[in-house]
Structure 1
Amino acid sequence: MIWHLLAALFVGLGAGGLAHLLRLASGRRLPRWIVPVCAGLGMLGYQIHHEYSWLDYKRSQLPATAQVVDAEKGQMFWRPWTHLFPMTVAFTVVDHSSMVRRQADEHQLVEFVLYRFEKEYVDRLDHQPHLMNCTTREMVPLTGEERRPNFQAMRGVDASSPLYESVCSLW
């Protein structure tokens, strides 16, 4: 967080410095207010770029075996540009290296961990082990150290969803 603050500060100084040079090159015909306006626009532009490139940056940090299966976009009233172009505020990842495949009767089961990244002032990561029945397209979270299924939270999964395709594609 401190590095982004420093980067925004230096971008603002650079943009303000360029505006000051333009003002000097024009023989001081450009108004004086151009310097702080350009500095502010530079900092705002850096912040917008940082917010919209967050998903790509986080994706580049993931291992090669990880696959993004869902991304949530959101709008905030204090960021008016997000009403025109919603930004990614969270995404969900499945890591193929942690999957355990099993056959039980005629059911194909896959145990996996679902990771959820949320963009906040400090990035937040939650993870939850799940069990997917690829035959019946049902998914249930596993709780506790013994990883017992929580059947009250069982839900169906659409066959065309990226999560189902990612988890059950190798069967």
Structure 2
Amino acid sequence: MIWQLIAVIFAGLGAAGIGLILRQLSGKRLPRWIVPALAGVGMISYQIYYEYSWLASKQQQLPDSAEVVDVKYDSMFWRPWTYFFPLPVAFEVIDRDHLRTTEANGQHMVEFILYRFEKQVTDRVTHQAYLMNCGEREWVPLVGDERQPDASALHDIGTDTPLYQVLCETS
């Protein structure tokens, strides 16, 4: 967070410097407000760049065995450009190296941990263990230290979802 603030300040100073140079090159014909205006534009531009590059930078930090299975995009009224280009605010990842596949009653089962990364003031990471029944196309969270299935939270899943394809069609 502190590095982002420092980067925003330097982007503003750099853009203000460009405004100052442009004003000097024009023989001071450009108005004085061009310097703070360009500083503000520089700071906002960096912030927009940072927000849209968050997803790619976080994905680069993941291990090679991690695979993104869902990305959530959102629009915010205080960021009107996000209505045209929605902002990535969260994504979900599974780690292929930590999948456990089993057969139970003739059904192909995959136990996995789903990691959710959320972009907030400080990035938030949560994880939950799940069990996927590939034959029935159902998945259920595993709760407690014993990792018992929570049958009340059983979900159906379509065969076209990336989570199903990664877990059931490739394993």
Number of corresponding residues:
171
Residue of structure 2 in register with 1:77 after alignment: 77
Gaps of 5+ in 1: none
1:105 Cα offset (Å): 2.4
1:80 Cα offset (Å): 1.4
In structure 2, distance between residues paired with 1:131 and 1:114: 10
Measured on the aligned residues, the alpha-carbon RMSD in Å equals 0.8
1:79 Cα offset (Å): 1.1
**Could you give the per-residue CA deviations for residues 51-86 of structure 1, whole angstroms, max 9, x where no partner exists?**
001100100000101111111110111111111211
Aligned 1:7-18 pairs, distance under 5 A:
7-18=7-18
In structure 1, distance between residues paired with 2:170 and 2:23: 63
1:6 Cα offset (Å): 0.4
Residue of structure 2 in register with 1:53 after alignment: 53
In structure 2, distance between residues paired with 1:65 and 1:135: 24
Indicate whether 1:121 and 2:121 are aligned: yes
Residue of structure 2 in register with 1:164 after alignment: 164
**Could you give the per-residue CA deviations for residues 131-164 of structure 1, whole angstroms, max 9, x where no partner exists?**
0011111100000111010000001110110000
**Could you give the per-residue CA deviations for residues 10-45 of structure 1, whole angstroms, max 9, x where no partner exists?**
010000011101101111011101000000000000
Name the amino acid aligned to 1:73: Y
In structure 2, distance between residues paired with 1:58 and 1:95: 15
Runs of 4+ aligned structure 1 residues displaced above 4 Å come to none
Q: TM-score, normalised by structure 1?
A: 0.98
**Residue identity (%):** 52
Gaps of 5+ in 2: none
